[in-house]
Structure 1
């Protein structure tokens, strides 16, 4: 969950807490756990790695 905090030292302003994974899951109809797994693969650069080596 992303939390945009009010931190004057960093110049941030509290907007609201946003659960991006829940929003994506709801709008796409994909189960939450699958969205979480996909985000983890993207964060670990696993998908670009697989795509690059499948071309060769």
Structure 2
């Protein structure tokens, strides 16, 4: 009985963790804009953007 309850809770936890990971992935993928452009001030040049992309390996 105790093992069965443990396995059910473990399975529930894994399904929940997978669901949260999928939701976070989808939210990040559909978020508008360029993350690098968001990190820089509005007057940033293309050279600044390229330098930051190179710094992060993007």
Please indicate, yes or no, whether the TM-score normalized by the shorter chain is above 0.5.
no
Structure with the larger RCO, 1 or 2 (CA within 8 Å, 6+ apart): 2
Which structure shows the bigger proportion of residues in helix conformation? Answer: 2
Higher Cα Rg, which structure: 2
